[in-house]
Amino acid sequence: MYRFAQDLQEGIILRRRNRFVMDVLLDDTVVACHCPVTGRIGDLVFDGVPCLVSTNNPRRNTAFTVEAISIDADRQWIGIHQGRANDFVAYCLDTDALPVFPSSKHVEREQVVASSRLDFKVDGVYMEVKAPLTELFVTPLPRFERRAVTRPIETERLIRHLETLIATLPETKRAVLLYVFLYDAPVFTGNPNRKQDARIRQLIRDAIADGLEIWQLNCRFTVEGIVPLNCFETTLHFK
């Protein structure tokens, strides 16, 4: 298990004030918490959603960060801290818990390639980590309000990172796009509603022939930490 520095606290989100701040009821006190996701989190209206929060540096404007939410009948925690996903992947690499790299020897993070930055370089192979949150693959309880979404999901950053990752293939002959879900999600095959979806799928299909692999990592999120559930290759689903 990837353990947090201290156990998380459970609270209730009262509202998402803006892109960066959520008001959360902790015990009997309303506190402003950092929201680690600047974009959409599913199509949820954050009113009465259970959450887990971590404690930040008290000198920050927001003393807490919302780490996870729960919206389904199974009360599964869904991790929403995308930066936490990279730390968790680093832990999995260090403990040989990722079959995509079963016995990694040399791991480097935040590698600058061209004008972009890729998340990992593992034994000479580049890996980009994505933690999709614009769509949540659980069935929310009826009491959680959902907002009608008409605008497409923005994907410019994904395309830039994907093109950079693919550009490493002539030299390395292998590259990995790892989708991380900080909960137990079904097999992810992309999102047809996203902007430029056809272009993204074509980029991936062309690159698979040159050595691009697509993998998925599912987890269980708890107040103590994150447990890897399964990691499996999904390349065939993108061909």
Give the domain CATH number at 210. 3.40.1350.60
Tens-place pLDDT, residues 40-99: 888 888 889 999 999 976 667 788 999 999 999 889 999 999 889 999 999 999 999 999
Last residue in a domain, options 78, 94, 116: 78
CB burial class (10 A; 0-12, 13-18, 19+) of residue 96?
exposed
Instruction: Summarize pLDDT for 111-124 with one digit per residue, the tens.
Output: 988 878 999 999 99
Same domain, 32 and 71: yes
Q: Which of 56, 78, 100 marks a domain boundary?
A: 78
The structural domain count of the chain equals 2
Does one domain contain both 39 and 8?
yes
Decide: 169 and 212 in contact? Cβ < 8 Å.
yes
The pLDDT tens digits for 147-167 are: 766 555 667 888 899 999 999
Same domain assignment for residues 51 and 86: no
Q: Looking at the structure, tell me whether residues 176 and 121 fall in a common domain.
A: yes
58, 78, 98 - which closes a domain: 78
Q: In terms of domains, do 50 and 93 share one?
A: no
214 lies in the same domain as 145: yes
Is 34 in the same domain as 63?
Answer: yes
Q: Are residues 149 and 217 in the same domain?
A: yes
What pLDDT shows up at residue 157?
82
- Residue 28 neighbours by CB distance under 10 Å: 5
Give the relative orientation of helices 156-167 and 197-208 as an angle to the nearest 10 degrees. Answer: 10
Q: At 220, which amino acid appears?
A: R
For the ranges 31-45, 127-141, 210-224, the one whose mean pLDDT is highest: 210-224
In whole angstroms, give the CA distance from residue 128 to residue 148.
31
pTM above 0.85, yes or no: yes
Domain range for residue 47? 2-78
